[in-house]
A and B are shown apart, each in its own frame.
Chain A
Amino acid sequence: GEDVEQSLFLSVREGDSSVINCTYTDSSSTYLYWYKQEPGAGLQLLTYIFSNMDMKQDQRLTVLLNKKDKHLSLRIADTQTGDSAIYFCAETVSGGYNKLIFGAGTRLAVHP
């Protein structure tokens, strides 16, 4: 069935790089997304990658896609305290409309 898995927690030191990993199951996914959720807020779209791409870079964010292994990662360079949040990976699944399946989220804690 459709499933997206992420590790639940990541702790990094301010200034280091963070790498959040995700695995998904639907090989027909056309887009894969990363969302960020800060306390008391909704989900903010961070970036997304089309399935025929291997990598996408957007300022401090780098997304890597290994389609063979169905593995997606989000790298945050020079991690700041403002990056502390929950990060959700999501895949599109076929179904006639833009249906997303979300992972449980990875809580990123940035410490001095």
Chain B
Amino acid sequence: ETGVTQTPRHLVMGMTNKKSLKCEQHLGHNAMYWYKQSAKKPLELMFVYSLEERVENNSVPSRFSPECPNSSHLFLHLHTLQPEDSALYLCASSQQGNQPQHFGDGTRLSIL
């Protein structure tokens, strides 16, 4: 799926580091999403941006901070993460309304 690109693909960081995950979509969509995928748990929706406004913040700890500067880009800023935050972080985009979401390949995050 080259329509949604996530960087980096892999990230290892210490608990005191600050890093950012980046997502870019080339599909002309106007909604973007962050999901967390942990082993043996269903996909968890974290944040939703629609027309560059945050419309969902799914009880996510403040150590995760999203940013959507325009409809094509989405960031997830990370600071002072915990080991349980190690997971695959997936970005998706869609048109508003009941249109399918298209996913990137994710960033595999490991917290030491």
- A residues in contact (CB < 8 Å) with B: 4, 30-31, 33, 35, 40-45, 48, 88, 92, 95-100, 102-105
A92 to B101, CA, bound (A): 11
- Which residue of chain B has its CB nearest to the CB of A30? B98
| Residue of A31, A88, A97, A103 ringed by the most chain B CB atoms within 10 A | A97
- Which residue of chain A has its CB nearest to the CB of B88? A42
- Which residue of chain B has its CB nearest to the CB of A92? B98
- Which residue of chain B has its CB nearest to the CB of A3? B42
Interfacial chain B residues near A35, Cβ < 8 Å? 103
**Interface SS of chain A:** strand
Interfacial chain A residues near B42, Cβ < 8 Å? 4, 102-105
Say yes or no: A42-B100 contact (C-beta < 8 A), given A88-B43, A103-B42. Answer: no
Interfacial chain A residues near B31, Cβ < 8 Å? 97-98
By the criterion CB–CB under 8 Å, are B45 and A97 in contact?
no
Interfacial chain B residues near A40, Cβ < 8 Å? 105
A35 to B48, CA, bound (A): 19
By the criterion CB–CB under 8 Å, are A42 and B103 in contact?
yes
Sample 12 A-B pairs with CB under 8 A, ordered by A number.
A35-B103, A40-B105, A41-B105, A44-B1, A95-B56, A97-B48, A98-B94, A100-B45, A103-B42, A104-B40, A104-B41, A104-B42
Interfacial chain B residues near A103, Cβ < 8 Å? 42
By the criterion CB–CB under 8 Å, are B104 and A31 in contact?
no
By the criterion CB–CB under 8 Å, are B94 and A45 in contact?
no
A107 to B27, CA, bound (A): 29
A48 to B94, CA, bound (A): 14
Interfacial chain B residues near A33, Cβ < 8 Å? 100
Interfacial chain B residues near A88, Cβ < 8 Å? 43
Say yes or no: A42-B90 contact (C-beta < 8 A), given A97-B31, A97-B48. Answer: yes
Given contacts A43-B90, A97-B55, 13 further A-B contacts (CB under 8 A): A41-B105, A42-B6, A42-B105, A42-B106, A44-B1, A45-B102, A98-B94, A98-B96, A98-B97, A99-B48, A100-B101, A102-B43, A103-B42
